Amino acid sequence: AQKVTQAQTEISVVEKEDVTLDCVYETRDTTYYLFWYKQPPSGELVFLIRRNSFDEQNEISGRYSWNFQKSTSSFNFTITASQVVDSAVYFCALLTTDSWGKLQFGAGTQVVVTP
Amino acid sequence: GAGVSQSPRYKVAKRGQDVALRCDPISGHVSLFWYQQALGQGPEFLTYFQNEAQLDKSGLPSDRFFAERPEGSVSTLKIQRTQQEDSAVYLCASSTRTGQGLDEQYFGPGTRLTVT
């Protein structure tokens, strides 16, 4: 069975602090994809990043960075120097190759950035 | 249009009424997905279309839920005899995927359904 766990319900930070969001996943498949989506108050889910199970290379893109570790089944996401506009709910999601595109989402982490 | 659009954005229905929710995917996108998002939860898969074919409807919670995409573009999610537990945000997503569904999905703003 597939499962995605985001243990942090809410994280509150002051602007310019770093924020790290945890994501732990479960799957028996050897080929899978992991995603992070952002959901601002407007409600629309915004795609941030996709990683496949064969690519553990971590990446930095502007103020965002990702840490994918298969050994611990974790796919953590960090926002560096947070800004008020980063306030949103962030979802981690899992996709396996036999699931016909069915994304399995975690429960989400609410990030609140205050000035 | 540049993105996925959904209408209406908000819908209030009395229990027992039928509702129809519309999704316009990104032009040319082959795949279309419906998700249901309860308050404070992550989206949960309802159904998937590849062009006009409904390939997976395993997430539809009951036979009161029905989805169609007759011409392979616009899709409608219909809920008959609405009940209070149907209250949620219904999200539509599309992707270019033609193979194993590995492309990122682009989401619409959702329709917030409230059943009173």
Report how far residue B89's alpha carbon sits from residue B71's, in angstroms, rounded to the nearest whole number: 25
Residue type, A39: Q
- Looking only at the bridges linking them, the beta strands covering A109-114 and A10-14 are parallel
CB A58 within 8 A of CB A68: yes
DSSP label at A30? S
Report how far residue B6's alpha carbon sits from residue B92's, in angstroms, rounded to the nearest whole number: 7
Report how far residue B97's alpha carbon sits from residue B45's, in angstroms, rounded to the nearest whole number: 17
Categorize the per-residue pLDDT at B1 as very low, low, confident or very high, splitting at 50, 70 and 90: low
A49 pLDDT above the threshold of 90: no
The model's pLDDT over B24-43, given as tens digits with 9 standing for 90+, comes to 999 989 999 999 999 999 99
Cβ of B97 under 8 Å from any chain A Cβ?
A: yes
**Six-digit token string for A40:** 């601002």
- Mean pLDDT, rounded, of chain B: 93
**Which of A42, A52, A105 is closest, CB to CB, to B43?**
A105
Taking one residue from A and the other from B, the number of pairs with CB-CB distance under 8 angstroms is 69
Report how far residue B19's alpha carbon sits from residue A91's, in angstroms, rounded to the nearest whole number: 28
Categorize the per-residue pLDDT at B103 as very low, low, confident or very high, splitting at 50, 70 and 90: confident
Report how far residue A77's alpha carbon sits from residue B18's, in angstroms, rounded to the nearest whole number: 41
- Mean pLDDT, rounded, of chain A: 91
Q: A102 and B108: CB-CB below 8 Å? A: no
A98 pLDDT above the threshold of 80: no
Neighbours of B2 (CB within 10 A): 7
A39-43, A75-79, A85-89: the lowest-pLDDT one = A39-43
Can you say how many angstroms the Cα of residue B84 is from the centroid of all Cα atoms in its chain? 18
A88 pLDDT above the threshold of 60: yes
